[in-house]
Structure 1
């Protein structure tokens, strides 16, 4: 199971996510569309990602263009460029995902939704 996440870096909060059996353009497009709708279809915002083929492919580039989203990409082999996302996934894996994984996709989806909705919302509320 693959997870794609879009984070609002100003708020340090996940605003879009999607789970799929495949790490493909459909997965990341779904997460971006959720974030785009969650934020009220903003224009001229910046989306930062790594240089993965899913993010640099024509279909994804067209989605960004239609949504009027500017793309920024990390330098090759430099995890520091995307450290907030690296930290999110590290925290998810160490704080939430069972050592032996989930029993199935439905359990994974429910547990990850709970982590994102309750974990990031609770952390945001504590900071305010």
Structure 2
């Protein structure tokens, strides 16, 4: 066998070949033929014959895993072993052993948003700067951004909006057949078009992938907008924007059946125009834009 042929065979495979045929051929001959030294082969045999130092702990991990009906992750397995056997194993060790055993909890799927990169680019997270304090002294201080879905006979349509918390005006919105970052960016650009830089706008959003994307980070930086993120699963952190969606659904969507995407665009555009220009707010006794024009 030539040098190139030997090079294509993994070193471990060569050691296993020598070990397999050691009774039929002299080790020196097979070693020379496969291009490995005898000392390296003998060192390999010592490693192979050495007992697995993790064997006992692996058995404990497997026992806990099976007793939990394969639902436990590494933290619960650590607790179970300590409770049932009085043995404390570091949770990082339990995780390493589970990976060696190729087992994981069947109760949870892998979360793609825990990866460093997702389909929208690198993940950016932001602190919850508003802390449910939605009070403002004027326009373009605090905004809210969110996404909802609209049912049509041909499937779902998605709507992204930007709302100014000062006067309630919907500054920008966009609809799409997909829950995409492009839809969010389109709504943001529409809202930011009236800003005069520099600006001190804070924009509240949830922790959706669109709002954690590099594109969203770049766009908000471009317009001098500071992102703020709600706590996970806490819709009250963006209550004013959620309130608009409630009005949209109660005053429009639950009373009509929408045929397709084109009709959804028409009816939503029409409602947002009504909401901004004609719908009187009880707090101010003015429409959002009437109140806004007193300050802008």
Fold-level similarity (TM above 0.5): yes
How far apart are the structure 2 equivalents of 1:117 and 1:109?
Answer: 12
- Answer yes or no: is 1:58 the counterpart of 2:214: yes
Deviation at 1:87, TM superposition (A): 1.1
Aligned-CA RMSD value:
1.7
Q: 1:22 aligns with which of 163, 172, 178?
A: 178
Partner of 1:76: 232
Task: Point out the structure with the larger strand share.
Answer: 1
Aligned pairs for 1:95-114 within 5 A: 95-99=251-255, 101-114=257-270
5+ residue gaps, structure 2, are 1-156, 292-296
CA contact under 8 A between 1:11 and 1:124: conserved in structure 2? no
CA contact under 8 A between 1:16 and 1:31: conserved in structure 2? yes
Q: 1:119 aligns with which of 257, 266, 275?
A: 275
Range with greater deviation from structure 2 (90-99 or 9-18)? 90-99
TM-score, normalization by structure 1: 0.90
Partner of 2:195: 40
- Flag the 1:41–1:21 CA change in 2: closer, same or farther, 3 A: farther
How far apart are the structure 1 equivalents of 2:217 and 2:237?
Answer: 20
Q: 1:31 aligns with which of 168, 181, 187?
A: 187
CA offsets per residue over residues 44-98 of structure 1, 9 Å max, x none?
2111111111001111111111111101111111111111111111111111014
Deviation at 1:123, TM superposition (A): 2.6
CA offsets per residue over residues 1-50 of structure 1, 9 Å max, x none?
1000000110111010000011111010000000011x234522111111
TM-score, normalization by structure 2: 0.41
Q: Larger C-alpha radius of gyration, 1 or 2?
A: 2
How far apart are the structure 1 equivalents of 2:234 and 2:188?
Answer: 23
How far apart are the structure 2 equivalents of 1:110 and 1:41?
Answer: 30
How far apart are the structure 2 equivalents of 1:62 and 1:19?
Answer: 21
Q: How many residues align?
A: 127
